[in-house]
Amino acid sequence: MKTLESLLSVLSVLITTPVFAGSPSIQFTYVPPVGSSAAVQGLVQNVDRTTYGVALIIDVFGGWWTKPYFATPISGINPDNTFSIPYNTGGQDGCADQFALFVVRLDYAIPLLSGQGSIPPEYYSNSIAQAATNRGAASTFTFAGRLWQKKDTGSCIWDPGQNYFSGDNISVDGNGKLHLAITSANNAWYCAEAILTQSLGYGIYRFYVDTDVSNLPDPIVLGLFTYSNDSDYNHREIDVEFSNGAVVGRPTPWQNVIQPWNTPGNRYQFEAPTNMSRSVLQFLWTPSVVYFDGFTNYSGDVMTYGIQGSPTVSFSEPWPLATQRVSGPTNINIVVTSNGGFPPMQFIRGNLSSLSGSPSPFEWHVFNDGIPKAGNEVAHINLWLYNATAPGTNGQRFEVVISDFQFIPFDQVPKPKFGAPGLGANTLTIPFTYPGN
């Protein structure tokens, strides 16, 4: 009899304890539009709702807040694995930009947030699933063969620059070119931002700019960058930025940045040629290096390649970047001179670009420190106003045209095939065939 009772007890536990075949997950199923008081809705899978709940936090103008209330920071999960959480419970919640969800234990003493600038790490370490979204991205469109979102903030002001953003200021013309505009209406100025829907990771990010931006008014900023809603690795933000004003400034109105920008060595400012009516700005992101360069008046094929060495090594060309016009696989000699031997050198990249015009870049720079780890970042293209400063008189329109965006995954970047090096008197010649196949 005791054996039967024990068996029934075990069976009761097995029947009442959920068994899940997959990993826990959470997703948004509905995010209310700007200004709405409707609830955030979502779905969890492979989660025991008797043990776990959902924590919602929102980012309002750069500060994170616990929702719906401090007294109820963790919300329950419905029997059908859905959940509904009010978010607009006071202040300017209706203008929240980012939303983040965490599946945590119902008895977890979760840290309460009241405007903190970042999400505490313990939110991640104490959750079994997470999700995040940027509400400013509304309608979608296709550009350069990829799906993008239009940032639209309605009557709310969001970063960068505490601006209004309108989806109407983004369009793709009959030639497939992306137009970003800054416009005015009802004594207010509206900016533009396009956000890629797919995370790409390590590789070459290449932006084709068909507008001479050199004469744009001071407060206008053009940004070509990666960004993640998560705060890890400073949001995994890598930037190419232009501004004639405070963000960058003349006489070097362009900059390459690894965030945070105010860390010494994370910001490189440069001057580009005038009349940049057709230019390419790109960066290669690897686990250990981010390598920027730019070309103007592009047409034909240009190869860029680089070597990373030590301070004791000098090069016969302006290194660590050199360029040469090519039309296919080509034998090229790299001549290196040294003042004190040849330490191990690491090849950075060789890349055959479908560019045209002058084979020489107007800028290049390499960052070796503080490189973010790839995660859930996406590419952004935006045109915005520093401190929401008016760029002109009401009725004016300012526009930048991006003719193409290309991405080459890191593992597909062509690599050269090295030949036998030749060593002379303090001179090393390294021949290789490009692209090495």
Q: Which of 38, 89, 39 is nearest to 60 (CA)?
A: 89
What integer pLDDT is reported at residue 118 of this predicted model?
83
Residues 40, 92, single domain; the answer is: yes
Local structure of 124: helix, strand or coil: helix
Q: For residue 429, what pLDDT band results from cuts at 50, 70 and 90?
A: low
Which of 113, 134, 155 is the last residue before a domain boundary?
A: 134
Number of H helices, E strands in the chain: 3, 32
- Give residue-wise pLDDT tens across range 177-210: 999 999 999 889 999 999 999 999 998 899 999 9
Same domain, 118 and 141: no
Q: Is residue 92 part of a domain?
A: yes
Distance CA 431, CA 320 (A): 16
Same domain for 146 and 100?
A: no
- 216 part of a folded domain: yes
Q: Rounded to whole angstroms, how far apart are CA atoms 378 and 118?
A: 19
The answer on 282 and 172 residing in a single domain is yes
Residue at 354 is within a domain: no
SS3 233: helix
The reply to whether 280 falls in a domain is yes
For residues 60 and 171, state if they share a domain.
no
| Whole-number Å distance between alpha carbons of 63 and 243 | 26
Question: What pLDDT does residue 354 have?
Answer: 40
Report the pLDDT value the prediction gives residue 302, as an integer from 0 to 100.
46
Of 226, 185, 181, which Cα lies nearest the Cα of 207? 226
Is residue 347 pLDDT above 50, yes or no?
A: no
* Number of domains the chain is built from: 2
Q: Are residues 102 and 166 in the same domain?
A: no
Residue 358 has a pLDDT of: 43
H-only helix segments in 120-229: 121-125
Nearest-angstrom CA–CA distance, 22 and 24 = 7
CATH of the domain at 80: 2.60.40
- Residue where a domain stops, chosen among 72, 105, 134: 134
Show the domain range for 267.
137-295+359-408
Structure tokens at 110: 């979760």
Report the pLDDT value the prediction gives residue 156, as an integer from 0 to 100: 87
Are 199 and 238 in the same domain? yes
230 and 369 in a single domain? The answer is: yes
Closest CA relative to residue 44, chosen from 155, 162, 129: 129
Alpha carbon distance 277, 286 (integer Å): 29
Report the run of H or E that residue 14 belongs to, with start and end: helix 2-16
In whole angstroms, give the CA distance from residue 193 to residue 136: 9
Is residue 129 domain-shared with residue 167, that is, in the same domain? no
Burial of 336 (0-12, 13-18, 19+ CB in 10 A): buried
- Say if residue 90 is in the same domain as residue 218: no
List all residues 6 or more positions away from 118 whose beta carbon is below 8 Å from its beta carbon.
64, 231
Q: Quote the Cα angle for 407-413-416, to 5°.
A: 155
**pLDDT tens-digit map of 295-326:** 776 554 444 554 444 343 444 433 334 444 44
